[in-house]
Amino acid sequence: MANPSKRLPENVPGDFYVDESCIDCDACRQIAPDVFRDHGEQSSVYQQPRTEAEVLGALKAIVACPTASIGTTRDYDARRGVEAFPERMDENVYYCGFNSESSFGAWSYLVVRPEGEGGNVLVDSPRFTRPLVKKIEALGGVRTIFLTHRDDVADHEKYARHFKAARVMHRDDNAARYGVEHVVGGEEAVRLDRDLLVIPTPGHTRGHAVLLYRDKYLFTGDHLAWSPARRALTAFRSACWYSWPVQTRSMRRLLGYRFEWVLPGHGRIHHDTASAMRRHLEDCVRWMESFG
């Protein structure tokens, strides 16, 4: 629970606040941008919620916060935030909420599909919490767990065990050590079924991979995200743990695929036409190449 005695001084007066345990994961700012802001390496409340929609956004941020750094001095119905997840992003694609501290607050997603199409897919892992697990059970459980890279695996073992799901991960990110059932290798794309394509994208880590669903939704882990400041697709040069030249080459290879959504673990989500996404990606590759 957030500690009011450790409330950050950057918070405006009022019910909601962020305490000093914030790790600057950006989740609250994405979920409730009218309430939370980045004041420099941490988040704070810059405007107290004024409407019911903004209150709900703040309650969802409390639930999603990986470090329980957001609190309120009033007795709001916290169940409203809990029951909001998984939250539908588009069609049958959901954001799970309940971000995990062990993944530095990375976002995870659920793709809901009929059993005849291969069943539901969990992309990276949220915290294993009973309310979320029950909601996922009601949506049909989990058949496949795709892990983009080693940073964002969180509670994958608990989800795999509970749902008897098969995990998919690249061998170069220690997939065997994690007990992954379906280990992919090399840099060639691997088709899991008609709608799911695993595309290895080494760079951020040696075995990073992304998942393309129906040539529309690209789940990108820590490889690719949207930058609101630059209004462009971007990569995280300061958080490239393996090789920037290799990541640049992996990014260039993505130009061979069509997608309309970028759904990252870290960084901002973006939706556009496939042609606009390609232009943004071309710009991103040129920007990455400019660093040599």
pLDDT in tens, 98-123: 999 999 999 999 999 999 999 999 99
Question: Is the pLDDT assigned to residue 292 strictly greater than 80?
Answer: no
Whole-angstrom CA distances from 214 to 142, 228, 235, 260 are: 18, 26, 23, 10
152 within 8 A of 265, measured Cβ to Cβ = yes
Measured in whole angstroms, the distance separating CA 88 from the mean position of its chain's CA atoms is: 14
| Structure token digits, residue 21 | 């345990």
Counted residue by residue, the chain has a size of 292
- Which listed CATH number (3.40.47.10, 2.70.160.11, 3.40.30.10, 3.30.70.20) goes with 4-73? 3.30.70.20
pLDDT interval class at 279 (50, 70, 90): very high
> CA–CA separation, 96 vs 84, rounded Å?
9
Question: Is the pLDDT assigned to residue 1 strictly greater than 90?
Answer: no
> CA–CA separation, 106 vs 126, rounded Å?
8
CATH topology assigned to domain 85-289: Metallo-beta-lactamase; Chain A (3.60.15)
Task: State the chain's mean pLDDT as an integer.
Answer: 97
117-140 average pLDDT score: 98
Q: Looking at the chain, which residues constitute the CATH 3.60.15.10 domain(s)?
A: 85-289
| Structure token digits, residue 213 | 């669903």
Q: For residue range 178-237, what is the model confidence (pLDDT) as tens digits?
A: 999 999 999 999 999 999 999 999 999 999 999 999 999 999 999 999 999 999 999 999
Question: Is the pLDDT assigned to residue 88 strictly greater than 80?
Answer: yes
Q: 0.75 cut: is pTM over it?
A: yes
175 within 8 A of 156, measured Cβ to Cβ = no
262 within 8 A of 269, measured Cβ to Cβ = yes
Q: Looking at the chain, which residues constitute the CATH 3.30.70.20 domain(s)?
A: 4-73
